[in-house]
Amino acid sequence: MRRRFKADPKWITVRHPTRCAEPNCQTHINPGERGFYYPGDKSLYGSRCGHGEKAERDFAAHRIDEDTY
Ligand SMILES: [Zn+2]
């Protein structure tokens, strides 16, 4: 099976306070909260603001596109 992504993004429990990686999103992500994390570019998207779910959907959509080729 061909794999394009070296490090698939995944849901993690945040250990350090950080901010959502979505541009213009000011949401702080606190330790213990869930975030959708891209290891490749170290981006973390918050769940509370909905960007984690959005990033997950975007990633799944891209992967479906990949499989079509
Ligand atoms: Zn956000």
Report the C-alpha gap between 18 and 28 in whole angstroms. 6
The whole-number pLDDT of residue 27 equals 97
**Residue 60 alpha carbon to ligand 1 centre in Å:** 18
Task: State how far the alpha carbon of 45 is from the alpha carbons of 2, 20, 51, in Å.
Answer: 26, 5, 6
49 in any annotated domain: yes
**Residue 34 alpha carbon to ligand 1 centre in Å:** 12
53 in any annotated domain: yes
Q: Which domain holds residue 59?
A: 10-68
pLDDT tens-digit profile of 16-68? Answer: 999 999 999 999 999 999 999 999 989 999 999 999 999 999 988 877 666 66
**Residue 2 alpha carbon to ligand 1 centre in Å:** 31
46 in any annotated domain: yes
**Residue 20 alpha carbon to ligand 1 centre in Å:** 5
**Residue 69 alpha carbon to ligand 1 centre in Å:** 31
Which three-class secondary structure state does DSSP give residue 13?
strand
Q: Say whether pLDDT at 4 is over 90.
A: no
